[in-house]
Structure 1
Amino acid sequence: MSSYLVYICQAVKDRAGQERYWQVARYLENIDVLAAYAPFEVLDADRDESVEGVVIAEFPPFEQTVEWFNSDAYVQARKHRAANEYLGMLVESGVAPVGKRSAKSHAYVVLVCREIVDRNELTAYWQRVNETLDGHKGRVLMDHGRFLILEDQGPVEGVTVYEFPSADAAQSWYDSVAYRELRQHRKLSAKYLVILAEGGVAPVERRMPHTITAG
């Protein structure tokens, strides 16, 4: 069973350090980076939150990824971006691995549950939400599986990621009558951060261009 790293950059205070990290950090060889600092849009935020960039990567099983994250090489690489703020989560997918393939034509909707207000109301949302993907060619990559917060303190109650063939398809699903009606249950029952991120890996010089003057 694969796992996924979901990273949300929330503040860049040292752009030079961030670029050094991008240049020296090395992932495991058998991973698939689905989205890395490509264009994104915050669709919803029930708390006051900042988002500067999004990374989604498919990794090997949970324990192997934790071992890599805590390795000396990656710990040293992360020190370059220590001044910047990230929410980093490792999530077990619960579904079959996607496998190696280009993600440039795909888009991802990331839903981070920050706080549960009404569990019964939220359960009603969870029971019906995946049905709304029908007709929009959306599929579930992970849906509130086992997770570990790697950076930042949360709170995080769960993570869901949907994959769509394009950003337009993802937006069409989010704006659909079926999902608009259902997300009222989500708004009443929990506080979420929802981000639409385009797939692909942006070149270093084009990542998070709005942060280039920082640091």
Structure 2
Amino acid sequence: MTAYVIAHLQDAAPHPDIAEYIERLPGTLAPYGGRYLVHAKQHEVKEGSWPGGVVMLGFPGMDEARAWWDSAEYREIAPLRSRHIDGDIILVERVPEDYTPAAAVRAIREAAAVE
């Protein structure tokens, strides 16, 4: 099942390390079937606040996303970003094509009834 890496990265001043990171990142993605889906595009905030930028990568599955994150190739370049850009990064699996939120609704109703 498709998995995504979503990064909410805070604005950072330009730095040569960041340029190197961006140049080298695609080579770390390829062995795991990863690709860019969103890269530093303008975004609209509809609720709350979301300073900074968004990067979203797609992988064939969660195993590939985890393997990429843990790979020696990525771990080698990650400090080029993390030394200069603060942010939050998550890995998340896509829901199946036939997904409905019915089970989530049931769990919420049951939990609410207990209170």
TM tier, smaller: 0.7 to 0.9
Q: CA deviation digits over 1:95-147, x for unaligned, max 9?
A: xxxxxxxxxx1110101112425633222211211221011011111111222
State the distance in 2 between where 1:130 and 1:143 align: 12
Residue in structure 2 matched with residue 163 of structure 1 by the alignment: 58
Residue in structure 2 matched with residue 150 of structure 1 by the alignment: 46
Structure 1 segments, 4+ long, off by >6 Å, are none
Could you tell me which amino acid in structure 2 is paired with residue 205 of structure 1?
A
Could you tell me which amino acid in structure 2 is paired with residue 113 of structure 1?
L
- Tell me the secondary structure at the aligned position of residue 132 of structure 1: helix
Give 1:118-129 correspondences, 5 Å limit: 119-129=15-25
Greater relative contact order: 1 or 2 (C-alpha under 8 angstroms, separation 6 or more)? 2
State the distance in 1 between where 2:58 and 2:71 align: 16
State the distance in 1 between where 2:46 and 2:18 align: 25
Could you tell me which amino acid in structure 2 is paired with residue 163 of structure 1?
G
State the distance in 2 between where 1:180 and 1:172 align: 11
Structure 1: unaligned runs, 5 residues or longer? 1-104
TM-score normalized with structure 1 length: 0.45
Structure holding more helix per residue:
2
- Tell me the secondary structure at the aligned position of residue 140 of structure 1: strand
Contact 1:170 / 1:196 at 8 angstroms: preserved in 2?
yes
Residue in structure 1 matched with residue 103 of structure 2 by the alignment: 205
2:27 aligned with 1:131: yes
Could you tell me which amino acid in structure 1 is paired with residue 87 of structure 2?
Y
Q: Number of residue pairs matched?
A: 108
The alignment yields a C-alpha RMSD, in angstroms, of 2.5
Could you tell me which amino acid in structure 2 is paired with residue 112 of structure 1?
H
TM-score normalized with structure 2 length: 0.79
State the distance in 2 between where 1:107 and 1:162 align: 8
2:36 aligned with 1:140: yes
- Tell me the secondary structure at the aligned position of residue 65 of structure 2: helix
Contact 1:138 / 1:165 at 8 angstroms: preserved in 2?
yes
Candidates 49, 56, 67, aligned match of 1:172: 67
- Tell me the secondary structure at the aligned position of residue 75 of structure 2: helix
- Tell me the secondary structure at the aligned position of residue 190 of structure 1: coil
State the distance in 2 between where 1:121 and 1:129 align: 12
Give 1:62-101 correspondences, 5 Å limit: none
CA gap of 1:202–1:191, structure 2 versus 1, over 3 A, is farther
